[in-house]
Copies of this chain bind each other. A is one copy, B any other.
Amino acid sequence: MPRKSEQKSKEYTIKDVAELAGVSTATVGRVLGGYGSASHEATQAVREAANKLHYIPNGIAQSMKKKTTKSVGLIVANICNPYFSSIARIVESVLVKKGYNIIICNTDEDGDREISYLKMLYEKRIDGLMIASALKESERKDSQFNMTYKESIPTIIIDREISNLKFPTVASDNFRGAYEATSHLIKLGHKRIGIIGSTISTFFRRVEGYRQAMLDHSLPFDTNLVFNKSYKNVKPGDVSEGIYATKNLLKYREYRPTAIFALNNLLTTGVLIAVNDLGLKIPDDVAVIGWDDFDLASLLNPPITVVKQSTYNIATIAISRLLQQIENPNTILNEEKKVILSTELVIRGSCGSNVTY
């Protein structure tokens, strides 16, 4: 079977190019790498040889020497969530212009998964890391924390407000956003408001906002209305999660909430499907507010009221700060370590304009 090995086109190296061009490997490197200087003649010969062999430089070997891989990791909960895919898209488009590429990791908000991704990415020697789905505070023992995250590599956290974190952060004002949404519902007459966060890790700040709004309006904070568990029979990061949660929340007719606040797009969709399945009407039987705007929100009947994050700004600020750290490791971003962006309550029809009892 000599055929086999002949078929397999050899990977040409800088050495092959050097030989063919009749120069040294150093010269090839200078020409192709664009550093140092080479005579016009040499330059020509090298280019020609490289073309002839369809030479593709070995980026691994380059990384080895230069100690930079031109790749950054992006850890998200689930790329199917429009919020994360938008972030990924924006981030990737600015990165690619600078020659970086992006490695995507989906954690489903699972701490163990995050840790193993981290390990993988650190082994890959990524130049930078963006985490949009960090360990939940509950899972994060400080000792463990310091062992899993490497401070020596440029890192930025999106959408997590973790106090003792050494990394810069850019996030929405989760507390305020939830506070406003909840207050809106309360003003409309709602007293029992369900909140569905499933396992999402920004859950806590948002629930705090919800809780504060309830308390400020002399309404009880009832943990039965707070849905933040994950269930074995339900895939996280799937609409079924929201459906399941909603059906649970609406199970008991007399105690059931008159409004539901869903903490991400996928959950919102799940809520809408469940409410529809149950034959209930929005907003008369149950009002709905979603977190994150989506293209079809205004086309639904009724249009869905949402807390809108400035996804574009979040992504843009995050990536520019990350690149700054990568390109200039001495920059200390201490002063403005944490950037918090305000959210906007987009009022559409899904909460009704008044509620009577």
Binding site for B on A (CB under 8 A): 4, 8-9, 11, 54, 56-61, 63-64, 69, 71, 78-80, 82, 85-86, 88-89, 92-93, 96, 99, 101-106, 117, 119-125, 147, 150-152, 237, 239, 269, 272-273, 276, 295-296, 299-301, 330
Contact = CB atoms under 8 A, between A and B. Distances in A.
Please state the number of chain copies in the assembly. Answer: 2
Contacts of A295: 239, 269, 273
A78 B69 contact: no
Contacts of A237: 89
Given A79-B85, A102-B103, 8 more contacts: A9-B151, A59-B124, A64-B64, A79-B89, A80-B82, A92-B105, A101-B124, A272-B296
B79 A101 contact: no
A147 B272 CA distance: 50
Nearest to A113: B96
A311 to B, nearest CB: 11
A85 B80 contact: yes
A89 B64 contact: no
B104 A92 contact: yes
A216 to B, nearest CB: 34
Contact of A104 (B59, B63, B104, B152): B104
Contacts of A82: 80, 82
